[in-house]
Amino acid sequence: MLRLLLLCGALGCGAEQAAPLAFTMLQLTRVYRGNSMFRGNASLNGQLSHLLDENNVTQVLPLEPPDAWARRQNEVIAYLKNFRQLVQLFNKERPTNFTQHLCCHLGCRLFPNGTAQSFYEVTLNRTAFLSFHVPNATWERRWPGELPVAAFAQAQLMKYPITTQDLQYFLNTTCVSILQAQSARTGEVSGRSRAPLVLGLILGSLALLGMALGIFLCTGGSC
């Protein structure tokens, strides 16, 4: 029995594994007849930190000072405006009468041993569409079967640094720095923050796909 207890202690039997810290973002975009509607949120370690409702972006947790947050709001509002204009332009060329649902889910996790994991996943009409392979900064198709528009969107995203290297940096460095700063305050995970927390709250990254994916929102799935 003593040997069993010692072995169990060495293996951590009965002990709860510490949960990783997490910062996640979610954006839902609905497009119908050239009109775009936005919903979204961001959560820091399970606690709601930001809300996106149409053109209204609010900071629930005081993670940025008022002046910095005001600049961030303007960036997000400008992005959403450009996205709407892009969709309207394409809809004039190829009008559609059906609804498209685009969901972007991204974020990072920081584990107790100091390692991190980042992700970016995209679904189209509730079906896995694309994912971003963070270590290699490459986009991968997830759509089941062949779909020309998936290959087209993947190729477009791979053309621009903002959707490859910049996105990789955001997920690997900026996002993780948020959790490191949170960890430094709570003491839950060892390690020091390498960047200010405010650098990570670029909510425009919730919709980095708009530049390329907006192209197909009015195509009906054909290129």
Helix (H) or strand (E) holding 103: strand 99-110
Q: Give the pLDDT of residue 188.
A: 47
Query: Phi and psi at residue 15, in whole multiples of 5°?
Result: -95, 140
- Cα(105)–Cα(91) distance, rounded to whole angstroms? 25
Structure tokens at 189: 């995970």
Q: Give the pLDDT of residue 61.
A: 84
Cα 68 to chain centroid distance, Å, stands at 21
Q: Which residues does 16 contact at the CB level (< 8 Å), separation at least 6?
A: none
Taking the chain (223 residues) in runs of 10, the rounded mean pLDDT of each run is 35 54 88 85 88 86 80 79 77 76 89 92 88 93 80 81 83 84 61 37 47 53 48
**Contact indicator for 52, 68 with CB cutoff of 8 Å:** no
Domains and CATH numbers, the chain: 21-187 (3.30.500.10)
Q: Give the pLDDT of residue 212.
A: 52
Q: Give the pLDDT of residue 158.
A: 86
